[in-house]
Chain A
Amino acid sequence: MRRRTGRQLGAVLAASVLTVSLAACTTGGTAAGTATAPPTTDDAAGAPTTAAPLTGELVVLAAASLQNTFEELGERLEEQNPGLSVTFSFAASSTLAQQAAAGAPADVLATASTSTMQDAAEVTGEASVFAHNSLVVVAPAGNPGDVTGLADLADPTRTVALCALEVPCGAAAQKAFDAAGLTPAPDTYEADVTATLTKVVLGEVDGALVYLTDARSAGDAVETFPFPESAQARNDYPIATLTAARNPAAARAFVDLVLSAEGQAVLVDAGFDGA
């Protein structure tokens, strides 16, 4: 009863948001000529990348694994638009999708899997996959447990950390083990990929499965071992603007930047596979 009311309310909200945004699109289309008139002079003055200088605040909800790359892209967008301030909230994708669906005040959502993006489908525009992340086996510096590959994480005598199945990196890990025909032997299911990596950096476990990007960010604290089955367990990272975005122009610009050659270069540098 209570839930149905909530869902109805959600549907009404979504419908009204959709109507408003559709209206905004059509009026935006006709108004574009007048609205972009002053910026055209700006363009002539030498700001070719943006149609109009963006102002105000842009709030981006992004998967924890995107922290380094997105912060860099956010800084670049701020440099291009001095009036704009970009704020990030990095957390587990599923948490962010729930927050977005519950009406968290934000403009952009980027998650670490398409299924978590689906959870927020009612409040997002069309999502575009902008990167892929693959898993690697990591061991603490010095490799005390003598770990060299995925099979060592299926060895009960070693101490192993994996992401919980409930979060994207855990689901991807399960796919990797399935592809390799192995039964994992974890001693702990960590709440997110960062916590999993921390257990390796602290030397509490002999080995773990984390994203290549996280392994790179840990530098010399971990040793990294790629494995062939990771190709079958790649995570797709989708990004979408929120239909209730308070700063839709900036939201669109950030998504465009992520998808642009410039954005893709930053992501590939960090270890992601481009879109």
Chain B
Amino acid sequence: MGTQHDAPRRGRYRVPPVGILVPAAVALAFLVLPFVALLDAAPWSALPGLVTSPAVREALWLSLRSASAATALSVLLGVPLAWVIARGDVPGAGLLRAVVTMPLVLPPVVGGVALLMLLGRRGLLGRHLEAWFGVTIPFTTLAVVIAATFVAMPFLIVSVDGALRSADSRMEEASATLGASRWYTFRRVTLPHVAPGIGAGAVLCFARALGEFGATITFAGNFPGTTRTMPLAVYLALEQDPDAAIALSLVLIAVSLGVLLLLRGRWLTGPLS
């Protein structure tokens, strides 16, 4: 299995061992077959009408806008936080890392409840926002963005943290030796170096924000045009018209797959793959 043997085989199809191939095939089937079933059940003749209805366009547009805003917010705030965790020499970085990735493993509805307790009308901060500025966050598109950012930002942080930790820090040291400030080094050396990691994290972050459901319906509510995103529309459609729910699901899958394919191609070809 040394490199000498690999070299002449390059470009030729190599069959993996059966012990790997079989479980890998089962895993692939497990992940892909549900989507095949969805395609099989799709009401193809009614699909164009369902997909282009004003209600669907409204929900999709809201989803795309709020997921974009959540991604921008995550990059703006999450990259600095990832840097602090990876390079900041802060005490308890391990604990910090665990805390900021909590939304990754918690059920999103828990996140929604927590956001409500913080930013709801009677929440820890929310009651002051209401009393001092007359601002209520639930039931607004801002609440959708906040909910999406809460569940999606950890994806970006994990990705950038990983990129920073695996990146060679000698360039940064050289920059520092040559008299650059840490801020200058961060902007001109570190950031360009981990750009693919940021890109990959942003793609995952966007995809997660697009699919966000539990925190949104709990914290933001559900109103067409303001807070009813695609996942909420799918859930409600299922109550009355399963065909419409399947059609909406296909749209969401197509958009997510398109984003993952396009942006991964854009960001991840090159040094990493």
Name the prevailing secondary structure of the B interface residues. Answer: loop
Contacts of A161 in B (CB 8 A): 221
**B120 pairs with A166, CB closer than 8 A:** no
Comparing B25-33, B87-95, B169-177, B233-241, the segment that makes contact with chain A is B233-241
**A187 pairs with B223, CB closer than 8 A:** yes
Q: Which of B116, B122, B221 contacts A188 (CB 8 A)?
A: B221
**B242 pairs with A3, CB closer than 8 A:** no
A251 located at the interface, meaning its Cβ lies under 8 Å from any Cβ of chain B in the complex: no
Contacts of B236 in A (CB 8 A): 164, 166, 189, 191
User: What's the tally of chain A residues with a CB closer than 8 Å to chain B?
Assistant: 22
In this complex, what residue of B is CB-closest to A93? B239
User: What's the tally of chain B residues with a CB closer than 8 Å to chain A?
Assistant: 25
**Given A186-B223, A189-B223; A159-B139 close (CB under 8 Å):** yes
**A2 pairs with B40, CB closer than 8 A:** yes
**A159 pairs with B222, CB closer than 8 A:** no
**B239 pairs with A2, CB closer than 8 A:** no
**Given A2-B41, A94-B239; A188-B121 close (CB under 8 Å):** no
Shortest CB-to-CB span from A214 to chain B, Å, is: 18
**A204 pairs with B41, CB closer than 8 A:** no
Contacts of B217 in A (CB 8 A): 191, 195
**A188 pairs with B139, CB closer than 8 A:** yes
A167 located at the interface, meaning its Cβ lies under 8 Å from any Cβ of chain B in the complex: yes
A136 located at the interface, meaning its Cβ lies under 8 Å from any Cβ of chain B in the complex: no
Q: Once the chains are docked, how many angstroms separate the CA of A204 from the CA of B238?
A: 26
**Given A95-B239, A161-B221, A166-B240; A203-B136 close (CB under 8 Å):** no
Mark A residues whose CB is within 8 Å of B.
Answer: 2-3, 92, 94-95, 98, 159, 161, 164, 166-167, 186-191, 195, 199, 202-204
Q: Would you mind naming 28 contact pairs between A and B with Cβ atoms under 8 Å apart?
A: A3-B41, A3-B43, A95-B238, A98-B242, A159-B136, A159-B139, A164-B222, A164-B239, A166-B236, A166-B237, A166-B239, A166-B240, A187-B223, A188-B139, A188-B222, A188-B227, A189-B222, A189-B223, A189-B228, A189-B236, A190-B221, A191-B222, A191-B235, A191-B239, A199-B221, A203-B120, A204-B120, A204-B121
